[in-house]
Amino acid sequence: MKKLLDAFNNKTVQDREGLLSMHLLTLDDLKEIAQWPQYKEEKLSWANFTYITHQEQKYWFNTNMGNHSFWLSLFVLSHYTTNKGLLREKAHALSKGIVDRTALQTSPNKRSLIGRISTLVPEKQDELIFGIAIHPHFLELGLGTLATQMYLFATFELTTVDSVWLETQETNFRAQHVYEKIGFKRLGYHYKTNTFGIQEKRVSYVFPRESKERLPKVFEII
pLDDT of 222 over the 80 cut = yes
Residues of the domain holding 39: 4-221
Confidence of residue 161 (pLDDT cuts 50, 70, 90): very high
Non-local (6+) Cβ contacts of 21 within 8 A are: 12, 13, 14, 15, 74, 75, 76, 111
**Element containing residue 69 per DSSP (H, E):** strand 69-77
pLDDT in tens, 91-118: 999 999 999 877 665 666 799 999 999 9
CA dihedral in degrees (155, 157, 159, 164; nearest 10)? 30
pTM above 0.85, yes or no: yes
Length of the chain: 222
**Element containing residue 120 per DSSP (H, E):** strand 111-120
pLDDT in tens, 27-66: 999 999 999 999 888 777 878 999 999 999 999 999 999 8
Non-local (6+) Cβ contacts of 123 within 8 A are: none
Confidence of residue 200 (pLDDT cuts 50, 70, 90): confident
Tally of domains in the chain: 1
Query: What is the spatial distance between Cα 38 and Cα 135, in angstroms, rounded to a whole number?
Result: 9
CATH number of 139's domain: 3.40.630.30
Q: Can you list the pairs that 182-185 forms with residues at least 24 positions away whose Cβ atoms lie under 8 Å?
A: 182/145, 182/148, 182/149, 182/152, 182/207, 182/214, 182/215, 183/207, 183/211, 183/214, 183/215, 185/211
Please tell me the predicted confidence (pLDDT) of residue 18: 92
Confidence of residue 196 (pLDDT cuts 50, 70, 90): low
Please tell me the predicted confidence (pLDDT) of residue 111: 96
Question: Quick one: what percent of the chain has pLDDT higher than 90?
Answer: 73
pLDDT of 199 over the 90 cut = no
Q: Assess contact for 74 and 116: CB atoms under 8 A.
A: yes
Q: Assess contact for 151 and 117: CB atoms under 8 A.
A: yes
pLDDT in tens, 118-156: 999 987 768 899 999 999 999 999 999 999 999 999 999
Please tell me the predicted confidence (pLDDT) of residue 1: 43
**Element containing residue 63 per DSSP (H, E):** helix 54-64
Task: Provide the sign of the torsion angle of the four alpha carbons 50, 54, 55, 57, taken in this order.
Answer: positive
